[in-house]
Structure 1
């Protein structure tokens, strides 16, 4: 059973979700703050009313003789409460409790006469808000009158919830309107990508940059990344075309020679002629194989390094002698004295092991081919004052005319009319490998005759630690 393809992410949906979640959190926070503000406002209003009630009742009782009883008007005002959530007490310093509930506690801090005292209290398991006023009564017998009025917190909270409900409804409508505007704005804003989309859709195989003045700033990192990718693709295609052209140019001659000597062998079946033709065919086959190998090596050297890089710290003082030793038997077969000179102290460089192997192999190949039989080739390794390393390959061959030294690293360039087989790619490969390692390639003639090829490697970065 074919599994359904996963849904593609939507930029519009992500933007709306990223906006909706913070807005919902803000709405919740605003609701909490609104409830706190509304409750504080309700408490202030009710406290003021409660204090006014206590002061009014105290004044009313002060102006009327008590005689141990409350007047009808005072009792009505104290006992009237539609919800039955009010409590009161009236005390006389001379006669005690005149009316109300004796359980209502007095304020924790006494106040001056005529000044209401507001405080919290509890009665029958209910949290109360109470106001107490003390008034001096006329006549010595009456003493001081204390009026306490208390109410539950239900009405305050009810009013706070009503205010909160009104605020939340209004804010929810406001957020819905804002989200609608955001949705409309996102849809309209993303239309700015339409010209870029159309420009890309209209292309066939064109790899020119897509960045332009109509690309928004927020999209520029993406377009620049795409342009960089296009640039790498252009380089790869150019490298591909160059490889095909170079292969056609370099393989044409040996292939033509192979065809010619094959026709000669077929035309004259004599053993001597066929042996000579086969010898030429063998030599041309080796040349073609060598050319193809060099072309591939040049293409690898010219290609961009892989993402993340493959370079690591390499001790040339250990690796170079090993690489030179691999070529000793070949040098002996060619009648060449191949040697190595270098110290035992480590010489670290940041490089690619395979690339350094190709670099040294091509330097030795170049010296072997052009120094001639019976010559001497010396590979030297030296430390540089700046912390880098120098790899030198010297021979005592005929050398190179001074005016041709700068051209030695050109592709397919060969000095003079040299009869030595070769493709003219060895030093070009060395140049590209040295460039990838940040190294400098230097050619110079040495006395009394011969050529020195020097590769000066920079010191490794300080942040890279040498392996143990």
Structure 2
């Protein structure tokens, strides 16, 4: 049973989720805050009115002669509550309850004569009340005072707070809708600034030129710069690809042409001596083509984008270089070359890629074997520097090169004029590229009499990447 395709992520849903959920939470918090403010305002207004009612009643009481009944005006003032019941009590300190419509609890602290009314919360018949009490003189009864308490339910206060809340919700909802509409319109209108960049990219075919320009908004500059950097890497890879094809065509044309000529010669003249001579030339040209192909591949690897963070590891040159030199002793003996090594016995570490460094040293030794001449001496030496780096030197006492040609030794396909030995002219170019990958410096020096010394100066290994010291293999000469 096939599974349903996974739901594609939506930027719109993600943005709406990030916006609507916080806005909803903020709206709920705002409703609670608004209701609290509105209730506080309603309590303030009602408390003020309740205190004024108590003061008004005190003035009315001062002009009446109470005998247990209140005037209709006073009773209407005390009992009027449009959303609930109003309660009151008038208590004489000498005679007790004079008038009232319920047993209102007394305040814990009775204000003194002439003091401001005292507001307090109380309950009666399980209903919360807000009450005010004050002390007033009782005309016609010297020495006696009245404690007047007036209370009301909280329903009117909550109703007023809800009215304010409903009005605030309506106003704020309209404001939020207007703000979201403006944001939606502003985002859509603001994103139109990307239209020139989109049209410019749509008109491209196979171009890898930078896409940045003066019309690119500042907010997407990091994106365009990243894309431009990607295009630059792609251009480098394509240029490397084209260069490899051009180099291969240039270097393989001659041996392939020679192979064809010698094959035709062998076919045209079946004499065994001529066929043997043709086959000898074919073998030589085949070896030359194989060598050139290997050099081209090595140069391509050396010029490829660096993978230093993945491939570079600590290497002990004092152990690794003698082993690499030993592998070329047989070739040196076949060419009549005295190949030897000189170096320290203690560990000498750098940070690098083993295969690339093997290509570097192999090309330096191969260059000496090919051009130094029979009977020459080639010495590979290793020295430690005081700054923690290492110097790798390959020196021969061959014919050398003219001083004016030394700066061109690292050029691709460059060969000194008058050289009879076959070669691709890529060896020292490979050495230069590999050294650059290892942040090393290549220096060419001519000997005092004759010969050439190539020195590669490696930087000190980074802290934390030094290989553990190992026993060094004995040097051979």
User: Same fold judged by TM-score > 0.5?
Assistant: yes
Report SS of the residue matched to 2:454: strand
51 and 397 in structure 1: CA distance in 2 versus 1, 3 angstrom threshold: same
CA distance in 1, matches of 2:162, 2:79: 27
Report SS of the residue matched to 2:466: coil
Q: CA RMSD in A?
A: 2.5
Is 1:195 matched with 2:196?
Answer: yes
What does 1:28-427 align with in structure 2 at a 5 Å threshold? Answer: 28-98=28-98, 99-108=100-109, 110-141=111-142, 143-306=144-307, 309-427=310-428
* Of 275-284 and 372-381, the range deviating more from structure 2: 372-381
**Residue by residue, what CA displacement relative to the aligned partner does 1:114-139 show, whole Å, maximum 9, x if unpaired?**
51111222334333322111112235
The offset of 1:142, in angstroms, is 5.8
CA distance in 2, matches of 1:75, 1:134: 18
CA distance in 1, matches of 2:284, 2:122: 114
Conserved in 2, the CA contact under 8 Å of 1:20 and 1:179?
A: no
* Of 30-39 and 302-311, the range deviating more from structure 2: 302-311
**Residue by residue, what CA displacement relative to the aligned partner does 1:267-291 show, whole Å, maximum 9, x if unpaired?**
2222222222212111111110110
465 and 125 in structure 1: CA distance in 2 versus 1, 3 angstrom threshold: farther
Question: TM-score normalized by structure 2?
Answer: 0.90
CA distance in 1, matches of 2:87, 2:390: 98
The offset of 1:352, in angstroms, is 2.2
**Residue by residue, what CA displacement relative to the aligned partner does 1:79-114 show, whole Å, maximum 9, x if unpaired?**
333443433322111112233433513144745525
**Residue by residue, what CA displacement relative to the aligned partner does 1:217-251 show, whole Å, maximum 9, x if unpaired?**
12222222222222222222221111111111110
Structure 1 unaligned residues grouped into runs of 5+: none
CA distance in 2, matches of 1:451, 1:129: 108
19 and 116 in structure 1: CA distance in 2 versus 1, 3 angstrom threshold: same
Q: Quote the residue 2:472 is aligned against.
A: none
The offset of 1:148, in angstroms, is 1.4
* Of 334-343 and 161-170, the range deviating more from structure 2: 334-343
Report SS of the residue matched to 2:311: coil
2 and 200 in structure 1: CA distance in 2 versus 1, 3 angstrom threshold: farther
CA distance in 2, matches of 1:359, 1:13: 56
**Residue by residue, what CA displacement relative to the aligned partner does 1:373-416 show, whole Å, maximum 9, x if unpaired?**
33332222222233322211122222222111111101111123
* Of 401-410 and 124-133, the range deviating more from structure 2: 124-133
CA distance in 2, matches of 1:318, 1:401: 35
CA distance in 2, matches of 1:48, 1:309: 79
326 and 103 in structure 1: CA distance in 2 versus 1, 3 angstrom threshold: farther
145 and 361 in structure 1: CA distance in 2 versus 1, 3 angstrom threshold: same
Is 1:428 matched with 2:429?
Answer: yes
382 and 4 in structure 1: CA distance in 2 versus 1, 3 angstrom threshold: same
Is 1:446 matched with 2:436?
Answer: no
Q: Quote the residue 1:456 is aligned against.
A: 457
Conserved in 1, the CA contact under 8 Å of 2:134 and 2:149?
A: yes
Q: Quote the residue 1:23 is aligned against.
A: 23
113 and 430 in structure 1: CA distance in 2 versus 1, 3 angstrom threshold: same
Conserved in 2, the CA contact under 8 Å of 1:376 and 1:396?
A: yes
* Of 428-437 and 267-276, the range deviating more from structure 2: 267-276
